[in-house]
Structure 1
Amino acid sequence: MQSAALRALGCGSVALLGALAAAALLLVLTPAKDAALPARNKYGLVFDAGSTHTALYIYRWRADKENGTGIVSQVETCTAAGPGISSYADDPAGAGASLKPCLDKAMEIIPAEQQQETPTYLGATAGMRLLREQNSTKAQQVFAEVAKTIGEYPVEFRGAQVLTGNEEGSFGWISVNFLLETLIKCSLTGTWIHPPAEDVVGALDLGGASTQITFLPGTPIEESSTGALLRLYGANYSIYTHSYLCYGEKQALKMLVASLHQAFSGLYHSLHLLNLTGGQPLSLVNATIGQFCTSTWEKVQQEFPTVSRIQLRDACAASTYALTLLLQGFRFNHTTWLNIRFARQVTGVDVGWTLGYMLNLTNMIPSEIPQSVVGLQRSNWIAATVLLATMLILTFCLLTLTCCRKSSSAYVSL
């Protein structure tokens, strides 16, 4: 009787197992759909060859981009030792050698299999503009040594160039607005949207040899030399941008050093030392700078014990020059002063022309279509997995029953 029951149970299990196997087979044979794999990351390198120093910025973006423009993020930055490359006019090989430590660092960050396809650029600003005007042969020699050094690394070097002042201003404007999410931002639903044009902000930049002002004007630009047309994330922007050569900190020093014997630093750093970059009213800024500039050297050293002597020596002239440039040069007043935001970084990313340069260049780097795989729909995979698990359990039960039947037969025969 027990043996007959076991046989009946075994037959039922075999039938159920067959039915489940057939169902799982049907699920696997159902039409499959293409599934896109996540887009891989791409990398780009931009050297900012400024008048006072050179810095390398390492950027990354998804290869599929958004309306033709990459969503770029800063991975790392590296400041080269020594002065800007324009200072190596009499030692061109030194300009190239100064870039090697930063290139070595980049090779440690970028995956080896992607290094040869990593676009690499060097953009020189006002320092090299001036050197090219003074001695074009020496400028060419510096660029040749820089290109030679970068060419020794497994990257896709796309050349070194001197940026015009308007290009520097335009790319800086792109950087600021991209970081503030006024060009494009991710909505709560996960889609990319364009904020209204009213959210776009202007950008001011004080460099070593020039200063730039860039903004989106409310009226058409009459002077073509001060206009630039940009296309970013599928939208067009007609901006006003102008660069004032020789009004940067370093060149201003050269014009005034005979009488002042002092130096100047950029807008943010000039006012940051006196804690004036937090949106204080203009009256307080004026009073603070005036009090600092009339203090004795001994008092200044006591109040800023950790600041270098050179920076303290230059602080009065630097902050005064920055204030004069903003008020008398760019015509800010007590009311519009409150619209200025002094920043060295936005969301942890350096503010400068290099990010905007990389964003603009991604328009010319072809998008990559994400690789796809053929697979079942998620619901089919779940159902097939459950059926296969059930089949395994039933198989185990059948094996157990078989063993029990053999044991029972052996006992009866004894």
Structure 2
Amino acid sequence: MGSLRGEVAVVGIGASDFFRYGGSTESEFAMVCRAILAAAEDAGLPVEEIDGFTAYSNDRSEPLRLATALGIRELRLGAMQFGGGGGGSAGHVAIAASAVATGLADYVVAYRGCRQGEVGRFGRGVGYGGSGNAAHVSGYDLGGAAMGPYGAFAAPHRYALRAQRMLAEHGVSQSTMRAVARAAYHHAQHNPSAVMRGRELTDEIYDSSRWVSEPYHLYDCCQESDAAAAIIVTTAERARDLRAKPAYILAAGQSGEYRSGAGGENAPTYATGGIRALAPRLYRDADVKVGDIDTFQVYDNFTAGVVMAMVELGVCSYAEADEVLTFDNLVAPTGRFPLNTSGGNFAEAYILGMGHHLEAVRQLRGTSTNQVADAQISVVTGGPMTTLCSGVIYGTESTL
């Protein structure tokens, strides 16, 4: 059986400036172009050498338009990871890696842009059309006939139900969810690019913040941002000739669990991060164990989902979560399980999880603003609690 392990690498990372919702004066497309140009500069690669693009969650910056705007000589690959919203935020890297490994393209950009005020997103009621009308009207996604009549129109409403199930079934305390949020905000204080820099989060601030949808306080929910980010993937052989230190892809993939897309909240495994099946497969393909992972870059839409994902990654059991997933254990550089060390969706910028890949690469290069000493392996997961989830394990050359 073929393997991606060590065959491909990330050779360039780039981003636009980050803004809170509505803060950018540029279009979403312009921000994506800016991120790709920055990634090419980081790699020392002429932008016209790029010949492939992969995105997810119905990104609106289409590959043909990007190729035209950037002066690409020939577009050989334009692909989309469908399904799961942020759950696909590592699946598109798997597509890029597979394309490069099989010769479909030489240099593939995996990217995502968000300028949500431009097109509309969550919280606008049933059938608003921001990310596909039919699912919302039919009840297979947020809102719809199954939830709309009860006032459940937005993402916090749906995922609060899953959080309540986790708390009821496993007895995880609110303090563990609070630790996840506090760790993200703590890391953002050291990150000059983070939109929440200057807004330290304490226990008291968290506890006194307003309820959004119980058990979610304000700080249990990710922000919305104007931002874009991109990485460039190529073969390990080509990577040796480029400027940046490569971050090798050890494993990548996606997982849609049994009937995870069932509408009307009918998924049989309800309180799940969605990576129970995927995590063992990633570890096997990468030839690593959970104890080998130096940083965890876990998609943070809501704190409860991050707790679920960390459990399913094998960091601890639910019974151990309150003792293991503490603020001290989740912060770099001293914590046992450094989590979302740039600030993540919560506190760096919400780019539907694309920023997590940049931070994983920075950790392996040794350039993070919250650097973990001698970081060799980083895991990135997309999801959690979404219908489809995905993941990538990155490693340095020494791990090959």
Q: Shorter-chain-normalised TM-score: which range?
A: under 0.3
The higher relative CO (CA closer than 8 Å, separation ≥ 6) is in 2
Q: Give the greater-gyration-radius structure (CA).
A: 1
Return the TM-score normalized by structure 2: 0.23
Return the TM-score normalized by structure 1: 0.23
